Amino acid sequence: MESLINIRRLTKAFGDFIAVDSIDLSIREGEFLTLLGSSGSGKTTTLRLIAGLDPPTSGNIVYRGKDISALPTRLRDMRLVFQDYALFPHLNVFDNIAFGLRVRVTRHKYDEGRVNELVSKYLEFVHLGGQDQKMPTSCRGTEAARRPGSGAGERPAGRTLRRTTRIARCKPP
């Protein structure tokens, strides 16, 4: 099976500090991958390089056969869920998920009917059906781990899934 992502000799230096040192990694479509390592070992930096949030010092990131190493983040069709709760506190659960669908600027925007359909689908996927009008601060602990954009390890849906993304990298707490 051909790789979805091929990383070759990827390096990231911050001055004299080498955060990622010439790594090679292949990820197949549908594969579940976990990066393990101690604090400061380059896990987050590697994810940021793949997402395009930081430019690599050297090496290549190839996605579906195309080198995306210099491609801007907004054109990569990938999402990174951070470990903190990146929610809009003034928006309810539904509107937190719908936000990206409503303001989408690349390719096409969704009409409100499609937004409603997708948000409802994703709420059911993370077992939050019927919770769409709750405010993020009123979610119980078990819901907080699943609330959209929470970045909780096992259910990182919300803002990650809402844009029909092929790749979602999740940073658990």
Which helix or strand (DSSP H or E) is residue 98 part of? Answer: helix 93-103
**What are the pLDDT digits (tens) for 58-89?**
999 999 999 999 998 888 877 776 655 567 88
Rounded to the nearest 5 degrees, what angle is found at the Cα of 60, between the Cα atoms of 53 and 33?
A: 70
Structural domain spans, the chain: 3-72, 93-170
Fold for 3-72, please state it. Answer: Rossmann fold (3.40.50)
Name the nearest CA neighbour of 95 among 142, 127, 135. 135
Beta-carbon count within 10 A of 35 CB: 13
**What are the pLDDT digits (tens) for 22-43?**
999 999 988 878 888 887 889 9
Rounded to the nearest 5 degrees, what angle is found at the Cα of 48, between the Cα atoms of 3 and 54?
A: 115
Distance CA(86)–CA(116), nearest Å, equals 21
In three-state secondary structure terms, 120 is helix
Structure-token pair, residue 1: 């099976």
Whole-prediction pTM value? 0.55
Q: Residue 88 carries which side chain, given as an amino acid letter?
A: F
Least confident stretch, 94-98, 102-106, 166-170: 166-170
Residue 109 in contact with residue 151, Cβ under 8 Å?
no
Which helix or strand (DSSP H or E) is residue 158 part of? Answer: helix 158-161
